[in-house]
Structure 1
Amino acid sequence: MIPLLDTLGIPPLAGLCTYDEACRPGYSVDETVALLKRYNYVKTSLNEFFATHIAHTPEWEVKCGFSLHLWLEAEHSALLRKRVTEMREPPHYLDTVPDERLQAFFAELIRSHTTLELLVGVYAVVKPAMIAALKQHLDRANPLIDHPTSRQLRVILGEEEEMVAWGRQAIAALTRTPEDVQVANAWEKHLSWYLATAGGIAGDQPAPESLPPTPRSDGSPYQADWIPQRDQRFVDPFNHAAKIDEYYQDETLPPDERVCALLYKRLREIDVPEWMGPIIARTRGKAWEYYHDMSRQLWDEARHAMMGSVGLYAKGVPFYRYPIDIKSSCSLNRDYEPIEAHIILWGIEQSLMPRETGKRWEWEIATAANDVLSTRFQDYDWADEVLHAQIGRKWLLPHFENRNALLAAWEELMKRWNTSLDELAVLSEQKEWWPDFIAEVRQHQGTELAERY
């Protein structure tokens, strides 16, 4: 019998577990590595899934959720990859398929047809299965021997649970009719069969006894729809009548109007995740660090657009009331190769770096207007954009002889892109709307002031 230890009343083993719990052998290194590789494959596949579907998923709130979750998948993959490299496993083979049956599951998942199916596949099938696998791993692993892995898995588990909570609410919101219920149930059953055939996330679950459903995949590469879509709330999406970039720079305009132009500029960044998703999904064979960096930038751009929506909310205007131009993402996704779209994005970021005309100036405009919330938005937007310019240089410069060659490529692409934008502009009557927008903002502010006093 093992004697009772005197630990002076202090939690033993750094508080990780009891001595009895530490006596459980848990997974071996090889078993742990095999599981981490499966988890990593799920994470990289979901990152590709979100990048593939962000543009053509019309609901703004789903675009926002997918943008965040795409970045979290990239973060989780980076954690898992780092841990595997610490566990004497060279070569690591982290970008190979660990199980063809898992690959078959993701070939079905990426072929989800509607937003409801997209949500059901991720948040009712694969993520609950991931949560179950992570909990099982944490229960079976030795909490002392493999604390570094357990710590990472707890971080991932917490964020998985947050993602599923959001996803379940989104599914409920889009399940409006008996037909929706039928579609959701059928797709959940379809995907669950393929995941069960793979043994679940960990590969240790029993195979289903039922007959296989007819697959949507025929084994050929998935042909994605890259054309951006927005839901019915968004009006006149090809309208660029309001000269937003001129308004915030115009020192003759009142400070509050210049700030409103900055807020709308932030909101307009809804198009950047729409064109970055296809860049990420269509660019193959890069080191994972590339997808991690680009996923972070995509999420930042989505955050900036959300800042704009919050800023308009604070001023009493729903973000979808007035046109938000879609021409940029539409033209880039339709007519440009991924590296071309990335070069255009990088060039825009570079143009925002000069002290006198760039992000610092935008922050100064908001500060001078005494708009505290907008100042905070610009403060963080400025910090993010410095990072984004660095990301662009990091991944684009190796394709060119020097920075001047990259700049020359950007200038040529901008000429072509401006023509593309002009071609799409004819899809709108270009009706002026800015005066109505400003009037609504000021009416709301006047009402708020009257109610306050």
Structure 2
Amino acid sequence: MRAVIDNKRIPPLAGICTYEEACKPGFTVDQSVDLLKRFNYISKGLNQMLAAHLARVPEWEVKCAFGYHLWLDAEHSASIRKRVSEMREPPLGLDQVPDEKLRIWLDEAIRGDDTIELLVGFYRVIRAEIVNALNRYLDEMNRIAEHPTYRLLRGMLQDQEEMLAWGEQALAALVDSPEKEQHAEQWAQHLQAYLHETGGIFGDDTPEPSTPTPRSDGQKYEMDAAPRRDERFIDPYNTSARIDTYFWDENASPEERAYSLIYKRFREMDVPEWMGPILYKIEGKPWEFYTDLSRQLWDETRHAMLGEIGLYYGGVPFYKYPIPMGASMILNTDLSPTEAHLILWRIEQSLMPKQTGKQKEWEIAKDTGNPIAMLIQDYDWADEVLHAQIGRKWLVPDYGSLTATTEVADQAMRVWSEAAHKTETWSEQTEWWPLLMEELREKNGRT
């Protein structure tokens, strides 16, 4: 019989748990650090896997989710690193492989051949195992003794459950035949065999040494950086519409100015596509570099999604008219990830001047009277100020000064400009912008 406590009917222990729950032995500090390192390794791995495949997957909706989820994975890793640094151990060894069997498991998952296999691996297998492991940790831990870890993992669990739910819904949509169901199940069994070999995320399950023939050759996965779009998207190299200039024309209608800004944001999916190789191929940076760029990638994904919403608001399906993707194609196939990062920063720097940059775009959107265009530009302006700071933070120290960085970036811009002309020949450049504007006016009852 334990003590009887008079708490004056006030929930004790700050409402975190009961006295009986607080008497659990839980995990030692060393056990907690070891487990957190395993969670960190998988979060880091998922960030890299999604970055490696974002450009390649053709489905717009999957690109959007990958852009969001890789940022969450980066944030989870950053939070775990901070927590480990508080637990009598400096954040050393967090970029090392905590278990060779975990590495082999993730090395198989990144080699999914198509969108179904990628979703099966990243969601049905890996994230499902993370959810199980987080629930076990939260159930067995002492919530008072290591409450900062409890709070961290509880938030991670909510994110992982939401990501897993999205993955299962996406798979249900794509797996629409018995053949595809068999295909998905075979890949799930393949990866689960490697998971069983690891003993699970905790590493204490009885291993089942029956792994199938690996796809991995033991080397780092070579990503396919060429961007793709699915069959809904037409003429993706058509640049006949001068989207970057229509909103400057004071003689243009408010509708045209508003929707040229909306379409400009919508077109920004090419930025996450070209940031994927930056995240995946540039190695050896502090994790803060990957966290910052993952946030920027997610912001650019949001901008494209806001453009998608803007067209929905106007009554037009987002895939009906061309969305140029020549920028990401050239940057991913003809230039290095470092050159792509320099170009990205140089573009952002050019958008900072008050009279020609993001503030002016917001003012134009505000004057059009389109509430969605104004909302989009308001947050786009805020995001791009942050992005310019991120680029300066990580690039300028590499080149010694802002002037030197600008010179190198301008040279990369010239190389990109010269190479970009070839994608224009991949389209007949049929004019389409007037058709879009006519449809928008019809849908909104204007002439």
Residue 227 of structure 2: aligned partner: 228
Tell me the CA shift for residue 88 of structure 1. 0.5
2:156 is the alignment partner of 1:163: no
Match of 1:177 in 2: 177
- CA gap of 1:81–1:377, structure 2 versus 1, over 3 A, is same
TM-score of the pair, normalised by structure 2: 0.99
User: How far apart, CA to CA, are the structure 1 residues paired with 2:243 and 2:56?
Assistant: 25
How many angstroms does 1:221 deviate by?
2.2
Residues 186-213 of structure 1 show CA distances to partners (whole Å, capped at 9, x for unaligned) of 000000010111111111222126x321
What residue ranges of structure 2 are gaps of 5+ in the alignment? Answer: none
User: 1:183 offset after TM fit, Å?
Assistant: 0.6
State the shift of 1:269 in Å.
0.1
Q: Whole-Å Cα distance in 2 between the matches of residues 159 and 222 of structure 1?
A: 27
The question of 1:267 aligning with 2:292 is answered no
What's 1:415 paired with? 414
Long gaps (5+) in structure 1: none
Corresponding residue number in structure 2 for 1:244: 243
Measure, in 1, the Cα distance between the counterparts of 2:315 and 2:213. 50
Q: Which residue of 1 aligns with 2:402?
A: 403
Q: 2:315 — aligned with what?
A: 316
Matches within 5 A, 1:53-92: 53-90=53-90, 92=92
Counterpart check, 1:24 vs 2:24: yes
Q: For 2:293 and 2:227, locate their aligned partners in 1 and report how far apart those are by CA, in whole Å.
A: 19
User: What SS does the aligned partner of 2:444 have?
Assistant: helix
Q: Partner letter of residue 233 of structure 1?
A: R
Q: Report SS of the residue matched to 1:378.
A: helix
Deviations 1:366-407 (A, max 9, x none): 111111121111101100000000000000001112111111
- Whether the 8 Å contact between 1:332 and 1:341 is mirrored in structure 2 is yes
Structure 1 distance, partners of 2:342, 2:214, is: 38
Q: 2:149 is matched with which residue?
A: 149
The correspondence of residues 17-416 of structure 1 with structure 2, limited to 5 A, is 17-90=17-90, 92-208=92-208, 211-416=210-415
Deviations 1:290-312 (A, max 9, x none): 00000000000000000000000
Q: Distance in 2 between matches of 1:66 and 1:141?
A: 31
Q: Deviations over 1:27-49 (max 9, x none)?
A: 00000000000000000000000
Contact conserved, 2:197 with 2:211, CA < 8 A, in 1?
no
Runs (4+) of structure 1 exceeding 3 A deviation are none
CA displacement at 1:251 relative to structure 2: 1.1
* One-letter identity of the residue aligned with 1:67: G
8 Å CA contact 2:116–2:175 kept in 1: the answer is yes
Asked whether the 8 Å contact 1:228–1:330 carries over to 2, the reply is yes
1:169 deviates by 0.3
Query: Alpha-carbon deviation of 1:92?
Result: 2.2
Closer/same/farther in 2, CA of residues 91 and 231 from structure 1, 3 Å limit:
closer
In structure 2, the residue corresponding to 1:446 is in which secondary structure?
coil
Measured in 2, the distance between the counterparts of 1:82 and 1:37 equals 11
Secondary structure (helix, strand or coil) at the match of 2:234 reads coil
Cα separation, 2, equivalents of 1:393 and 1:364: 26
C-alpha distance in structure 2 between counterparts of 1:91 and 1:282, whole Å = 23
Instruction: Give the length in aligned residue pairs.
Output: 447
Worse-superposed segment, 24-33 or 87-96: 87-96
1:94-116, Cα deviation, whole Å (9 max, x unpaired): 00000000000011001000000
**Distance in 2 between the 1:260 and 1:218 partners?**
48
Amino acid at match of 1:28: T
State the AA in 1 paired with 2:141. Answer: A
Bigger drift between 15-24 and 255-264 goes to: 15-24
Quick check: 1:84–1:92 contact (8 Å CA) kept in 2? Answer: no
| Alpha-carbon distance in structure 2 between the residues aligned to 1:369 and 1:218 | 56
Greater displacement, 8-17 / 409-418: 409-418
Aligned residue for 1:205, secondary structure, equals coil
C-alpha deviation, 1:91, in angstroms: 5.7
Q: How far apart are residue 326 of structure 1 and its match?
A: 0.8
Q: Which amino acid counterpart does residue 73 of structure 1 have in structure 2? A: D
Task: For 1:395 and 1:92, locate their aligned partners in 2 and report how far apart those are by CA, in whole Å.
Answer: 22
| 2:84–2:91 CA contact under 8 A, matched in 1 | no
Using structure 1 for the length normalisation, give the TM-score. 0.97
Separation (CA, whole Å) in 2 of partners of 1:3 and 1:159: 39
Give the fraction of aligned pairs with identical amino acids, expressed as a percent. 54
What amino acid is the match of 1:274? Answer: E
Paired with 2:430 and 2:400, the residues of 1 have a C-alpha distance of 45
